[in-house]
Amino acid sequence: MPTTQLTAHLQAAFTARQALIERLHAEDTNAYRLFNGSTENEPGLTVDRYGDLLLIQTFHEPLDGHDRAAIEAFYSEAMPGLVAVYNDRSRANSRICNPLPPEVLAEANKPREFNEMGVRYAVQGRHSGQDPWLFLDMRAGRRRVMQEAVGKSLLNLFAYTCGVGVAAAKTGAAHVVNVDFAESNLRVGKENARLNELPIRLRFVQSDAFAAMRQLAGLGQAAMVRGKRMPAFPKLDQRAFDVVFLDPPRHAKSAFGVVDIVNDYAALMKLALACTVEGGTLICCNNAAQISRETWGEQLLRCAKKAGRTVREMEWIAPEEDFPSHDGQPPLKIALLRV
């Protein structure tokens, strides 16, 4: 695509976000998506701001030198002072594959901080994983959790870097438990907690989510299944939570169970429901674009009914304006259920 046309698309997106950026800055947020290529005429290109970091990423094909220079030049004028880092993730499994000059690599590996709704988070342009340490389209979910969790207990499942848990604690949650299988994710979560003056001590549980949910629900997790010894898992006491946040990956498989958010979300939801107090709130997330909101919503209601839980209210939480959708069907779907 000609560089002038690319610049025009960047300008249109930047102009469309001015009111949102002003509101976000007013609430102490300096992280947002500046360009969402899939809906803004450059499929596969995203540009995100995280504090003073400008993170440019491609997922379909790499940028050539002219396009990369044009993107960096545009934002250096539109938002001076940001450090640009480019990650080419167009190869299999979205693995970052482009080398960076030593001075740029040093900036990419530098620990940084940014703010979202008054909460501080850690970020690096590059790290041992692939994805940024906080998903910006989930801001709407974190915003709602901050409204819901005051004085309540929260279970954060598939917690990743614990952004939801830290936000809940910052806003006044009484008790927060973050569950994630990866120690590296929880290590970032602990750093996020450290960056904030939290009134409570968060709990971080390194565990397979199936094993954790079964124990918290009072169902128990057997050490031997069909004659095979299960991998080690932490022992947890039965406990139900006022708010449960369920944000699984698209697909994952372990000895404890299979995560498949397109074909079998119910396997997760029924356990999450069992961890939610009667009269509590379950917030379910699904980022698979191939399943519609309506189809998935019907699955959630059927699962709750089969589990014997009444859904008193169901509310959709849409990503904010920096993640525009042409058809009202953004890939990320967030459903809040009063159960």
Contact criterion met (CB below 8 Å) for 257 and 199: no
Looking at the domain assignment, is residue 131 inside a domain?
A: no
**pLDDT by residue (tens digit) across 267-285?**
999 999 999 999 999 999 9
Looking at the domain assignment, is residue 284 inside a domain?
A: yes
Final residue of a domain: which of 123, 158, 178? Answer: 123
Above pLDDT 90, what percent of the chain? 94
Looking at the domain assignment, is residue 301 inside a domain?
A: yes
Final residue of a domain: which of 64, 98, 123? Answer: 123
Q: What is the CATH number of the domain that holds 235?
A: 3.40.50.150
Question: What is the C-alpha separation between 94 and 22, in angstroms, rounded?
Answer: 32
Same domain? For 104 and 178 the reply is no
Final residue of a domain: which of 60, 94, 123? Answer: 123
Same domain? For 206 and 315 the reply is yes
CB atoms within 10 A of CB 1: 10
Looking at the domain assignment, is residue 128 inside a domain?
A: no
Q: How many domains in the chain?
A: 2
β pairing state of 203-206 and 333-338: unpaired
Q: What mean pLDDT comes out for the span 15-26?
A: 98
**pLDDT by residue (tens digit) across 231-249?**
999 999 999 999 999 999 9
Looking at the domain assignment, is residue 130 inside a domain?
A: no
Q: What mean pLDDT comes out for the span 289-312?
A: 97
Residue 156's domain comprises 136-338
Same domain? For 319 and 256 the reply is yes
Looking at the domain assignment, is residue 129 inside a domain?
A: no
Same domain? For 144 and 102 the reply is no
> Which pLDDT value is given to residue 2?
66
Same domain? For 140 and 116 the reply is no
Same domain? For 64 and 156 the reply is no
pTM: 0.96
Q: What is the CATH number of the domain that holds 62?
A: 3.30.750.80
Same domain? For 18 and 48 the reply is yes
β pairing state of 241-246 and 276-286: parallel
Looking at the domain assignment, is residue 95 inside a domain?
A: yes
**pLDDT by residue (tens digit) across 70-122?**
999 999 999 999 999 999 999 888 899 999 999 999 999 999 999 999 999 99
